[in-house]
Structure 1
């Protein structure tokens, strides 16, 4: 079985510094990326809003497999120092035909991403802004956090208040207010480097 991290051993690899842009429409046009280390945020090129965050071991740029024009509408930024592996979409398609487990793995990741987008839409329709922000923070801690020595879930504080506002369809001021309230209520604690679940 060929898993996604093993693929990195046979692909081109780049080190990307924190804050750097990963160009999806020029030097890496029509490429699929595997994130070996770090995390990146994917931004819509036209609206400049954050679409989703990718963590280590996941894929981005996979739209080039399905719609090459749609793929260039995205921009990726390194949220921390990253190691990325990349492969041209036509080569990736050939690998997927040869290794069905790779195809299934990629479809699973894509399916989970679609589920998240559907949930965001549902939340926008049926939940108020504070609830959306609170649930986003707790989900972020579940996905990106690690259990520290005290048994609390702790994650790197990688997203700005503006990023969180984009991802929850709220305002930066509302995000600041909700985070402050969550800290006062003892639900979370945070600083410029980390965010952790207290309860």
Structure 2
């Protein structure tokens, strides 16, 4: 993805930098390895059946994934306002799935809704991140102590692939990949507690910690 190069629109909101030019199908606008709209029921040789239109939730999931990647990479700048219609135009989709993805990010604290303009990337100070890290420690340390006292060896083995994924992402300089692998590791750790609500709270907290720090 490219840097922050989009020009502000008439409402002062900026399109998302690095999104494809207008007219590129949504299925082609995401990097390799990201989910794509579902294929049609037949992909073999010979006459193919008409492909189904991508389901809206599938398009929304792709856009949400791409926006999270841009946040982790710092391509969405803290304090900047981005217009959902401008993003939708560049993605080649309707504004609805873009707004839905942005609303999800707003619920996670990554962006803030700006009436009649779009969404502003939230500013997280060093103090904000330190406080969130302290809350996460309050959730995770009791789980670690419980596992250390009565956990089974195979439970620790379940965490090894997640830890390896974070190391691999860090080694190749993949900030977005590292953020997702780190989130998956901590989610797996809290899942071992057997408390589903604790795992959900921990995941939401971790989402609030992701993204650029500014302000």
TM-score normalised to structure 2 length:
0.24
**Bigger helix share:** 2
**Bigger strand share:** 1
Q: Which has the larger radius of gyration?
A: 2
